[in-house]
Structure 1
Amino acid sequence: MPPRGRGPHVFVADLERPELDDDDHHHLARSLRLRPGDPLTLSDGAGRWRPARFGDRPEPDGAIEEEGAPGPPVVVALAPVKGQRPEWAVQKLTELGVDEIWLLVADRSVVRWEGERAERHRERLARVAREAAMQSRRCTLPVLRTGVGVDAARAHPAGVALAHPGGDPPRLGPALLVGPEGGWSDDELSSAPAVVALGPTVLRAETAAVAAGALLTALRAGVVAPGRSVAPPEDQH
């Protein structure tokens, strides 16, 4: 559940002695036009939050609360594509409440984020996720991993499932991997522990990732029921 307090939601390093980053303070004062004493909520990004009042240094206005982490964790992995679409996908996955977001390196990946390049992109996407988490009033920041190979992803303790047309309905537990625009290679599909479908149409890579996040977080929240196979009716002739 999001913090129940009023006003904007901001992350700080220390809830006991909170201080706002210069950029956050500027945004609250100039863009949102908060005045000293206006309410806001503060979070440490690790599941804790507290109400406060705005000022040069925010003044705590209530006890520290802790939001229990929902389970099981939702992990969505996607192969990055060109342009700003990975930023959009990370933003939306964060808003949905996805716990871990991985950027994959698949056999048919055109865009490959590895080494120092992967770390630069991770820092940029971390800023995108932080802003999206504040907007959506999350108390936990998602874990971001870049340069994750498909073989390495299979080491996830709960297993993995590849998104592919004709697969089974998504289920909670395994990390859900979305392939590149060129699709999965034959080797990746043949060695996949599980294959799941995200719908009846062919989706762009970033759309598929967000669809995966929406389905899994909705399953976890009980908003939708798990899919199940339905036996065909008996022949009545």
Structure 2
Amino acid sequence: MALHFHDERAGAVSPGGELDLTGAEAHHAASVRRVRVGEEVTVTDGRGAWLAGTCESVSPQRVVVRIASRQDLPPQSPRLVLVQALAKGDRDELAVQAATELGIDEVVPWQAARSVSRWQGPKAEKGRARWASIVREAAKQAHRAWIAEVSPIATTAQVAERAASARVLVLDPSAPAALTSIDVDDARDLVLVVGPEGGIAPDELERLAAAGAERVRLGDTILRTSTAGPAALAVLNAKLGRW
């Protein structure tokens, strides 16, 4: 399988043309992945352009790829959105990484009431940039043509507002309906809401339900915040026929 890289300029390149990987991508290709002249690689712009080509020259500063073919892949429909509550340690980051590999289209950091981690002031943009980096690297590892957007940190009120135009599914171990039992034949975005350690606070559940969100459970056990979102995405991928 060819190594896969990301370059935002890839969308402007046609078969027969050259694409120069520079900066961090060139260093990663030459020094970490050790690509060689003549090796086949794939490159995406993260917005659906999928290029396949051969390395014509390789150095840590610049890797020149001669493009042999191009595909323009449409985005998935419905879109899958993960609203991930901030969590202590790296549990939220593990969730974001796995969700990206499993095909998420948008990640929304959520400052839930029970979140131990707090993104305030400059820390909010720093945290978002960190998650965006995790998403980008996981998308390359998974060979995805579309790279998920990482939205600004959201409050519970902002998460609830999404129910006006999307189908919001709140993962709750005490919910009466199982995620496997719901019908997903709907063109609206599917938004999965995952709480922090300790779960989603009762008043947050009430606010989300009042806005039109649906509570669903995954099973009889309680999953970690790092596991629940990816597990739910696996179920939705199967129900949508993507797996």
The bucket for the TM-score relative to the shorter chain is: 0.7 to 0.9
On the 8 A contact 1:101/1:144 being kept in 2, the answer is: yes
Match 2:81 to one of 75, 79, 83: 75
Matches of residues 29-68 of structure 1 in structure 2 within 5 Å?
29-54=30-55, 55=57, 56-68=62-74
Give the Å deviation of 1:63.
Answer: 3.2
8 Å Cα contact 2:53-2:67 kept in structure 1:
yes
Which deviates further from its counterpart, 55-64 or 102-111?
55-64
Paired residue for 1:194? 214
- 1:154 partner SS: helix
Greater strand share, structure number: 2
Q: Which runs of 5+ in 2 are unaligned?
A: none
1:81-160 equivalences under 5 Å are 81-156=87-162, 157-160=165-168
Aligned length: 218
Displacement of 1:114 in angstroms is 3.7
Higher helix share goes to which structure? 2
Change (3 A) 1:184 1:84: closer
Which residue number corresponds to residue 7 of structure 2? 12
Relative to structure 2, which stretch is displaced further, 202-211 or 14-23?
14-23
Displacement of 1:143? 1.0
Which TM-score applies when normalising by structure 1? Answer: 0.84
Aligned-residue offset at 1:37: 2.1
What secondary structure is seen at the aligned counterpart in 2 of 1:61? strand
* Secondary structure at 1:63 match in 2: strand
Residue 233 of structure 1 is matched in structure 2 by none
Q: Which runs of 5+ in 1 are unaligned?
A: 1-5, 224-237
Which residue identity is paired with 2:200? W
Aligned residues with identical type, % of pairs: 34
Whole-angstrom distance in 1 between the partners of 2:242 and 2:36: 39
Partners of 2:143 and 2:99 in 1: how far apart?
Answer: 14
Measure the CA separation in 2 of the matches of 1:177 and 1:86.
13
Give the TM-score normalised by structure 2: 0.82
Q: Structure 1 runs of 4+ off > 3 angstroms?
A: 171-174
Structure 1 residues 199, 58: CA separation in 2 closer, same or farther (over 3 Å shift)?
farther
Q: Is the 8 A contact 1:114 1:147 kept in 2?
A: no
- 1:178 equivalent in alignment to 2:173: no
Whether the 8 Å contact between 1:47 and 1:69 is mirrored in structure 2 is: yes
Cα drift, residue 115 of structure 1: 3.7
1:158 partner letter: A
Range 35-44 or range 20-29, more displaced: 20-29
SS of the residue corresponding to residue 198 of structure 1 reads: coil
Q: Which amino acid aligns with 2:36?
A: R
Cα deviation, residue 22, structure 1: 2.3
